[in-house]
Amino acid sequence: MLAAVRVLTRRAFSTAKPLSAAAQQMTVRDALNSAMDEEMEKDERVFILGEEVAQYDGAYKVSRGLWKKYGDKRVIDTPITEMGFAGMAVGAAMAGLRPICEFMTFNFAMQAIDQIINSAAKTFYMSAGVVNVPIVFRGPNGAAAGVGAQHSQCFAAWYAHCPGLKVISPYDAEDCRGLLKAAIRDPDPVVFLENEILYGQLYPVNDQILDKNFTLPIGKAKIQRPGTHCTLVAHSRAVELALQAAAELAKGGIECEVINLRTIRPLDVDTIFQSVQKTHHLVTVEQGWPQCGVGSEICARVMESETFFHLDAPVWRVTGVDVPMPYAKTLEGAALPQPHDIVTAVRTVLGGKTK
């Protein structure tokens, strides 16, 4: 029995290096929760709706305590009808409120994609700039663990395809706190793609991050780890994989620069270009499918820019396998990119040489 519990624990939670006792730490879950709490306290137009967000404190406890603090009018449990409550949220945004619409998983947001794209994303343009739609669609996105094909899909590339949306894919507590606050304050519709595996992960934070006025700019990437030999570009949990691969490669003298995209639309190509012009090599990393993926777009942007002439080797993509997510644990692991896949890609791109 104990062995089974250990297996489940390893399967369900991501692990991180322990921090010193003196360092401040915050889970991704608490970062999201505190961001919503502070923005609701600051602006009475902000409210939350979705399945189990109120009395149950959220399916993943991200909205824990908010119903007790703000009551039924501002934390609203909905029926299981994504099309219905997403439409209500979009209408509320058009009327001047600032809804946070939670999907239990973005796989279920497919039921509401007409409201997200045709109602939310296009209205500002179709109204000639008269009607803003200040709404945040948020919830877990991409692969979790052991939940099969219908609960494991990454929608970053789907939503990033659509003009009128801003698409955020945060990694750590700093990202989640600063970018969710910015998304809630933004006048346009924002798709905020979280990761279930990262909810319970602890990350270091400082007083600046914990400040109530802390926000991060939408559309600006972060250099998570500096390097000189190869650029690794990733988003969400793939940033963790890239960092692990970079640490392994560093043992052999290969220093990778890891870029945490943070935002998928608008895409911060300037940070990518500057890094590639320094390292002359590029590997993209994502858990989503390869065809028409985020990595594909990055490849195209590099090819269409002057940065292409700085490359010493072709761009390499590390992605999920081009199949529906298997349910079996071993096959699931094989369907997702692992740090050793990134290590192999970097060594292939470098051709066995370093500078």
pLDDT in tens, 15-32: 334 444 446 999 999 999
Q: What is the mean pLDDT of residues 111-133?
A: 97
The residues carrying an active-site annotation are 82, 151
Rounded to 5, what percent of the chain is helix, strand, coil?
A: 40, 15, 40
Residue 7 in this model has a pLDDT that exceeds 50:
no
Question: Roughly how many angstroms between the first and final C-alpha of the chain, as a whole number?
Answer: 51
Query: pLDDT tens digits for 211-238?
Result: 999 999 999 999 999 999 999 999 999 9
Helix (H, G, I), strand (E, B) or coil at 203: strand
Give me the residues paired with residue 193 across strands.
139
* Whole-number Å distance between alpha carbons of 331 and 339: 16
What pLDDT is recorded for position 352? 61
Least confident residue range of 2-16, 81-95, 275-289, 337-351: 2-16
Average pLDDT over residues 142-149: 91
Q: 237-250 and 339-350 helices cross at what angle (nearest 10)?
A: 60
222 C-beta neighbours (distance < 10 Å), count: 18
Rounded Cα distance, 273 and 269, in Å: 6
pTM of the model: 0.91
SS3 of residue 343 by DSSP: helix
* Mean pLDDT for all residues in the chain: 93
